[in-house]
Amino acid sequence: MYLDNSATTQVSEEVFEEMKPYFTEEFGNPSTLYKYGRESKKALDLARQRVADAINAKPEEIIFTSGGSESDNLAIKGIAFKLAKKGKHIITTNIEHPAVKNTLGFLESLDFKVTYLPVNENGIIEIDDLKEAITDETILITVMHANNELGTIQPIEEIGKIAREKGIKFHTDAVQSFGKIEVDVEKLNVDLLSLSSHKINGPKGVGALYIKKGTRVVPLIHGGGQEKGIRSGTENVPGIVGFGKACEIAANKLDEHYKKLSSIRDELIEKVLTTIPEAYLNGDRDTRLPNLVSFRFKAIEGESLILLLDAKGYQASTGSACSSNTLEASPVLTALGLDPVDVHGSLRISLAPESDTFDVDEFVDTVAEAVKRLRQMSPLWNQELDYDGVMCSKHGDDCRMC
């Protein structure tokens, strides 16, 4: 059972079938004038309309990119460079995705000033902190819609209202939220919004940036002037076609998928917390995505847990796939005020529509067995918990190994 859909999703059969002709038959460059080019251009126009419809935008407000990271870079750098003469102050949170955090770090090297808002114990910012951070130099606020490790949802609509009242551009990374909860650019009061295809059963290597009409950005890629001159380069027609179809499916089945996934999520939370001692939920219990849940288990090491689960046929993660190769404690989880030692014992489960065959009881039993096994080998568990004395011929009194 694949349980890491926040990292990437399986391309759906419907999406794949719609993409296939554009690899071998309708292979024209959409910038050309003859038939093959015109057919590819029509396919791009349809995909652009589908993406726009899914977020209540206009087709001309959709710019296709290579994915969420490029969309974040284009939004943040594009606004920063465009408005640098007006001010060089940007506001964000301390739990943003690396595509945002590292982009802002780059801008700091160019003398931009960045305020990183703290989050509460549930991973949500305080609106008063945002208001206090705004200055006359503030040109951009960028806050992710839903966190990729916690699943908690930020008050984007309220943030957007504040930004609009102050005349500040507002960007949100909706890569994780899109397709799971409603993403309506008008209701959210955003000027820029990032999307990614491979999080919603579309292909990798394609995404989009919504840019509200009237908002101007400096392009990052210069060339032939494709995508209204904002993102030059020959468009990835098969990928964009697949992305458009994935958006259409996600929008049409949003309510159905929400009910299905939130039911599984709630059952999973309840059974993990009641079955496994010293198990805790990361993030807010209610204000979260329907498909994502993050736990931490005291006195174990998350990577070892992932390997034990993998051996039993479950693919999950300890947190963001973008930082899974580092041994450092998750910055997102430590930002909640958690002990870095406890953070290392985290497990992220992220579901997809096809997860309806997921047997929660069997999975929780497998996790419980793995956690118990790891704790038997953990000096932290032995040191921190007070066991009744147990005689053991091998290890002596108060044995915690057997």
Residues designated catalytic: 322
The neighbour count for residue 31, using CB atoms within 10 Å, is 13
* Residue type (1 letter), 249: I
Residue 352, classified by CB atoms within 10 Å of its CB into exposed (0-12), middle (13-18) or buried (19+), is: buried
Distance of CA 208 to the CA centre of its chain: 14
68-83 helix and 98-108 helix, angle to the nearest 10 degrees: 30
Angle between helix axes 302-311 and 360-376 (nearest 10 degrees) is: 130
Pairing of strands 89-93, 138-142: parallel
CA of residue 67 relative to chain centroid, distance? 12
Cα gap 347→367, rounded to integer Å: 10
Among candidate residues 211, 343, 328, 348, the one with its CA nearest the CA of residue 272? 348
CA dist 76 and 104 (Å) reads 8
Q: Which residues of 144-172 are buried (b: 16+ CB within 10 A; e: fewer)?
A: bbbbbbbbbbbbbeebbebbeeeebbbbb
Alpha-carbon distance of 232 to 100, in angstroms, equals 22
- Which among 245, 84, 275, 102 is positioned nearest to 169, based on CA atoms? 84
